[in-house]
Chains A and B, each alone.
Chain A
Amino acid sequence: MSRMHITLTVNGEERELLAEPRELLIHVLREKLGLTGPHIGCDTSHCGACTVEMNGRSVKACTVFAAQADGAEITTIEGLGSPDGLHVLQQAFREHHGLQCGFCTPGMITRAHRLLQENPDPTEEEVRFGMAGNLCRCTGYQNIVKAILAAAEEMNTVKEAAE
């Protein structure tokens, strides 16, 4: 099958690659760019394990062709925080025990990150609604919700202090 030349900015770095027109973004990220943080948990766009940010929106990378992402800015879990510094959300997930097996976690955190950009001060209901595209089989969500609310509060405090 013929291949397309694609350019992506992933976690701030420009990457070029060849992909078949039918190739999914999740496979390109995981197998061609070695970013195995986003996972695959279903075939029907339900689980959200593959969630990444594309041009400032949450997308399920299993539901985007790599070709559609040509020229896009993409952030994956690997682009949040750094090995020596956890992002506030990463820290909050740890602090509030918002993960167990960790398989949903990269998608969860990436989605939560976008949610808090869209709505920096959400209610519990808004968090539950805004996270409903990401499934977790281990935690029962209670601590995930707690972690996101705590992270929101912390991020707001930091912002206020800076103002």
Chain B
Amino acid sequence: MNDMTPPTREERVEKLKGLGCSRKRVEDVRFTHGKGNYVDDIKLPGMLHGDFVRSPYAHARVKSIDASAALALKGVVAVLTAKDLEPLNLHWMPTLAGDKQMVLADGKVLFQGQEVAFVLAEDRYIAADAAELVEVEYEELPVVTDPFKALEPDAVELREDLHGQDSGVHGKRRHHNHIFLWEAGHKEATEQAISSAEVVAEEMVYYHRTHPCPLETCGSVASMDKVNGKLTVYGTFQAPHVVRTVASLLSGIEEHNIRVVSPDIGGGFGNKVGVYPGYVCSIVASIVTGRPVKWVEDRMENLMATAFARDYWMKGRISATKDGRITGLSCHVTADHGAFDACADPTKFPAGFFHIMTGSYDIPVAHVGVDGVYTNKAPGGVAYRCSFRVTEAAYFIERMIEVLAIELGMDAAELRAKNFIRKEQFPYHSALGWEYDSGDYHTAWEKALKAVDYEGLRREQAERVEAFRRGETRKLLGIGLTHFTEIVGAGPVKNCDILGMGMFDSCEIRIHPTGSAIARLGTISQGQGHATTFAQILASEIGLSADSITIEEGDTDTAPYGLGTYGSRSTPVAGAATAMAGRKIRAKAQMIAAYLLEVHDGDLEWDVDRFVVKGAPERFKTMKEIAYAAYNQAIPGVEPGLEAVSYYDPPNMTYPFGAYVCVMEIDVDTGTHEIRQFYALDDCGTRINPMIIEGQVHGGLTEALAIAMGQEIAYDEIGNVKTGTLMDFFLPTAWETPNYTTDFTETPSPHHPIGAKGVGESPNVGGVPAFSNAVHDAFRAFGLRQVHMPHDQWRIWKTAHDLGLHG
């Protein structure tokens, strides 16, 4: 081939590696070489190590703290307690949910593992030794770990600091351990629909307490430069800009003198959204000592003290006509928030987006009430690979549908299809106030059922039940169905903020003269591959190859302000900002091209990587040529340079959805299970990088598998954490994890500039009910309606036993 042959249009498109391309990740070279840079890899000259003295009790008064033995140890620099933080007003800190939390125990402790004192030493071994030497005298108090008991009239008062306050940021508190009651929907109309219905199913659905447990724990390195008055904080922050603002408000250091950096993050899954005492203590310690201070929690501290998720007791009622049309849905949630309300929800939504609980169904009336309750457990309530309580909502509705199917004697797939919101109903206004942007549920559902040969599976299951009854097998077959609707991309600033900061996001682009570029965003990747995918979005917008675009995030000194990465918001919000900023670049490029080609800018059209004179395809200027001209040619009326910034406030959330089927074999005698097949169809709107989407789905499903089948943060009655190590806290290995089949439909979001919806959390949202429904379904023929997760081996065995299947 002649080198001079101009590339075809297809070749030009391919060269961009833009939208829809399974581009290999740019991050991987560094990570596969062991050259990632995570917080614990950071080592600054003179750096001290911090370690916590933690409470062994779940509820106790702190009578005294004696640090003299610790301070006598060589290499120990200081021991901080609440008394040292009090003059700085940092012994308590505000939580994201509008409550406050002790940084170090102020007179009492409220959960096992609570931070009591912070030891500073020359190395981590000495710090750990010294923490052992700090003598704390406790006086035990009665413990309450059950949220229902916490609301009994004579229950011990946990938060004495709130004594006598009968209202909080979210309204009235009706009991000393009550945090809020939050409601949505129409109570009377829903009661009316349910009480007059032909069929009603009622059930208590519990979504147990668990933990995101990323492989890297949380940590920070703070460095106060007293000469320049500058504070630098490196840390595992999913929202670095918010951390800077909060740090400024708390410390009184002006925001421009604080630099927050999120280096590489070893997984977040919601664990790294919150602000933890360790961060605060490392900052204060650095300010006090003038030396850099590192704090990195170990796994036990991570599981005990930072960021639990879920723990929702959901009492539901669903009503329908005899032939299976749903007429109403109601839910009352008792939400166990632990000792401090530290949920990471948009401020106006203390129960997150739980009111997406009508799911994929056209339900005329609904009502939800959520009671938040204090108990002697760790604070948290984070969105573990989920958008603010959406997993709880999806689990609730997908269980209620199954229970209703039993009540109706109907097939659960048919019941779903009968009640789906129809394609022509979008944009759809749900009974609880959401406007679903787009969807085509029936198409996805039919595709999924066909792919797994649903009818064949049901026949096989029926035969299996017969064989079981005849004593020919001890294995049952469960078919777990789910059709979920997610709500992600928080969110419109008009109703979504965190501590008053609107949840927009941002992108700033700089095109270099030779036609490469750098773009910086307000988000931060924790494994999602932003450096790869955001470059693809931009490549398609501005016509430069993704390989010539550097993506940077996580340094507040250089990146534009943004609210960070969680709740699948990066693509819906920052991805949109990227496209919009790209369009601004293109608009300016068009004027430059018009000047260079001596035509009116209206006579030009965009074609892949260039502006072409309409009707004269041989006359064009590529983006590369335009970039050069932008810096090197004086163009009348046009400023030099080619840069743009966009702050994007989404007009609405996006609503990804999907259809999952899990086929599971269950051994009735041993309680073991085997996942024979898992089919996952996701619709996340426009697909940016199919390879990365598939990877996100595999990962999310595996986290869902863990949650549904064994993972749990459990306490005993006196508040001991029973699952504080990876010995008891279940993380599946390659051995337990099945292979998944992924599939898709593509229904773009009408309001997103490129139609993308976000996918990172869908598999967790949809996966948990699919696994759990499979377990339930296996026992449906024997009368099972509802058992609580996690379905570990013992619980499955117990279920079989209670149903009389062990003879």
Residues on A lying within 8 angstroms of B by beta carbon are: 20, 22-23, 27, 30-31, 35-44, 46-47, 49, 76-78, 81, 83, 86, 89-90, 93-95, 97, 99-106, 109, 127-129, 131-145
Contact = CB atoms under 8 A, between A and B. Distances in A.
B694 interface: yes
Contacts of A99: 28, 31-32
Of the candidates A102, A131, A136, the one having the most CB atoms from chain B within 10 angstroms of its own CB is: A102
A31 B727 CA distance: 27
Contact of A49 (B215, B700, B727): B215
B703 A137 contact: yes
A93 B32 contact: yes
Nearest to A101: B527
Contacts of B740: 140, 142
B44 to A, nearest CB: 13
A102 to B, nearest CB: 3
Contacts of B726: 42, 44, 46-47, 135
Contacts of B529: 100
B726 to A, nearest CB: 4
B299 A43 contact: yes
A128 B702 CA distance: 14
Interface stretch (B458-466, B513-521, B614-622, B731-739): B731-739
Contact of A138 (B29, B527, B734): B527
29 contacts: A30-B40, A35-B34, A42-B299, A42-B725, A78-B33, A81-B33, A83-B33, A86-B29, A90-B33, A93-B28, A99-B31, A100-B699, A102-B32, A105-B34, A105-B36, A106-B34, A128-B737, A129-B735, A131-B733, A132-B735, A133-B733, A137-B703, A138-B267, A138-B699, A140-B700, A140-B701, A141-B734, A142-B737, A143-B698
Contacts of A97: 24-25, 691-692, 694-695
Main SS class of interface, A: loop
Interface string B674-700: 000000000000000001101110111
Contacts of A144: 734
Of the candidates A23, A40, A127, A129, the one having the most CB atoms from chain B within 10 angstroms of its own CB is: A40
A124 B33 CA distance: 25
A109 to B, nearest CB: 6
B38 A103 contact: yes
The 7 closest A-B pairs by CB, nearest first: A37-B34, A102-B31, A101-B527, A103-B266, A140-B698, A77-B34, A100-B527
A23 to B, nearest CB: 7
Interface residues of B, number: 57
Contacts of A20: 125
Contacts of B737: 128, 140-142
Contacts of B125: 20, 22-23
Interface in B262-302: 264-267, 269, 298-300
Given A37-B33, A41-B215, A139-B698, 20 more contacts: A27-B124, A30-B40, A36-B37, A41-B266, A44-B725, A46-B727, A47-B299, A83-B33, A90-B33, A94-B28, A104-B215, A106-B34, A131-B733, A132-B733, A132-B735, A135-B215, A135-B726, A138-B695, A140-B698, A145-B734
Contacts of B215: 39, 41, 47, 49, 101, 103-104, 135-138
Contacts of B692: 97
Contacts, number: 179
Interface string B519-530: 000000011110
B43 interface: yes
B802 interface: no
Given A44-B727, A102-B527, A140 B27 contact: no
Nearest to A41: B215
A71 to B, nearest CB: 23
B24 A94 contact: yes
Interface in B210-226: 213-217
Interface string B3-42: 0000000000000000000001101111111111110110
A92 B325 CA distance: 51
B739 A142 contact: yes
A101 B267 contact: yes
Contact of B699 (A27, A37, A137): A137
Contact of A39 (B38, B43, B124): B38
Contacts of A22: 125
A144 B217 CA distance: 22
A93 to B, nearest CB: 5
Contact of A41 (B27, B32, B216): B216
Nearest to A133: B733
Nearest to B725: A44
B34 A142 contact: no
Contacts of A89: 32
Contacts of B34: 35-38, 76-78, 105-106
A102 B264 contact: yes
A140 B732 CA distance: 9
B268 to A, nearest CB: 8
A47 B298 CA distance: 13
A19 to B, nearest CB: 10
A144 B737 CA distance: 12
B547 to A, nearest CB: 15
Contact of B213 (A31, A109, A137): A137
Nearest to A95: B24
A60 to B, nearest CB: 12
A49 B300 CA distance: 16
A41 B299 contact: yes
A140 B527 CA distance: 13
Given A86-B29, A103-B266, A132-B733, A43 B300 contact: yes
A101 B734 contact: no
Nearest to B525: A101
Interface string B365-391: 000000000000000000000000000
A101 B699 CA distance: 11
Given A140-B702, A142-B698, A105 B31 contact: yes
B230 to A, nearest CB: 25
Given A47-B726, A86-B29, A40 B40 contact: yes
Interface in B724-766: 725-727, 731, 733-735, 737, 739-740
Contact of A101 (B266, B701, B725, B735): B266
A48 to B, nearest CB: 9
A41 B34 CA distance: 15
A38 B36 CA distance: 10
B32 A105 contact: yes
Contacts of A78: 33-34
Nearest to B733: A132
Nearest to B731: A135
A89 B33 CA distance: 11
Contact of A137 (B43, B214, B727): B214
Interface string B697-734: 01111110000000000000000000001110001011
Nearest to B696: A100
B29 A101 contact: no
B48 to A, nearest CB: 14
A47 B735 CA distance: 14
A141 B726 CA distance: 18
Contact of B734 (A90, A93, A131): A131
A162 B214 CA distance: 42
Contacts of B29: 86, 94
Contact of B216 (A35, A86, A101): A101
Given A77-B34, A100-B695, A136-B215, A94 B40 contact: no
